Amino acid sequence: MSTKHVFGSVVLAGVLSSSVALAHVSIASGPAAADKSSKITFSVGHGCEVGTAHYDTYKVRVEIPAGVTSVRALTSDFGKPTFTKAGTAVTAIEWVKPVSEILPDDDGYYEITIRARVPNTPFSKIQFTVHQVCQTPNGDVTASWDQPEGATTGNPAAQLVVVPARLNPTGWNKFTIPAGVTVPAAKLGTYFGDALIVWKGVAAYSANASTVALIAATAGTTALTTDLVAGDEVWVRY
């Protein structure tokens, strides 16, 4: 092995370790409203890794989970979508680049977008399995992003956060936590990250540090630090 090759491996190892936390295949479009149609964009942060070698992505396949309906897909950098269906329901969508458009190295960043209606399950996450395929000198390799949150092996699936639909998109909304749902205090930011403030009685939550300071400084107001459970009513200002 030449010195140059060893040096290249060291550099690649550095790139790999820094990309693990934020690249991957994930949802770039933010939360989706329950029981509504939304555009859902997947970002493909990097190509396939084989040892220390990296290859451009030329095919992406998104599996549509049960309960996600009215599925349509945009044409992407990979070209037109093709659909797999069970009856009239779309169960998977695939985009494939012409071989002539495959990049010589893993320098491409890709986004693919679908439009779909998500189920009426606010305060939950929907897991989308995505497969990316790259051509290598030894044939195609597939990376499957299919593991649940918290898995310590394999590739994490894309997780779509489902939030309650807003009747008043730029004002006050009252939500009741549905039966069977608990929103852990530590996950308030997942579902209310873009809210100006969330009130449960005299307890308030905000993801904004300035608002948190105001809550702490206001007499008669406490920080919301308890889980939200079924039946709880919250007032949320967006």
Q: Which is nearer to Cu ion, 12 or 203 (CB)?
A: 12
Q: Which is nearer to Cu ion, 24 or 61 (CB)?
A: 24
Q: Which is nearer to Cu ion, 90 or 157 (CB)?
A: 157
Q: Which is nearer to Cu ion, 12 or 23 (CB)?
A: 23
CA–CA separation, 155 and 26 (whole Å):
11
First-to-final CA distance of the chain:
58
Give the pair of three-digit tokens for residue 56: 């451009």
CA–CA separation, 130 and 141 (whole Å):
14
* Closest separation in Å from C-beta 107 to Cu ion: 15
What Rg, from alpha-carbon coordinates, does the chain have? 21
Q: Which is nearer to Cu ion, 106 or 227 (CB)?
A: 106
* Closest separation in Å from C-beta 19 to Cu ion: 5
- Positions in the binding site for Cu ion (CB under 5 A): 23-24
Q: Which is nearer to Cu ion, 16 or 207 (CB)?
A: 16
* Closest separation in Å from C-beta 23 to Cu ion: 4
Q: Are 128 and 65 in contact (CB under 8 A)?
A: yes
Question: Which helix or strand (DSSP H or E) is residue 8 part of?
Answer: helix 3-19
* Closest separation in Å from C-beta 34 to Cu ion: 29
Q: Which of 161, 163, 133, 137 is nearest to 145 (CA)?
A: 133
CA–CA separation, 114 and 135 (whole Å):
25
Phi and psi at residue 208, to the nearest 5°: -90, 125
* Closest separation in Å from C-beta 155 to Cu ion: 8
* Closest separation in Å from C-beta 237 to Cu ion: 36
CA–CA separation, 235 and 175 (whole Å):
7
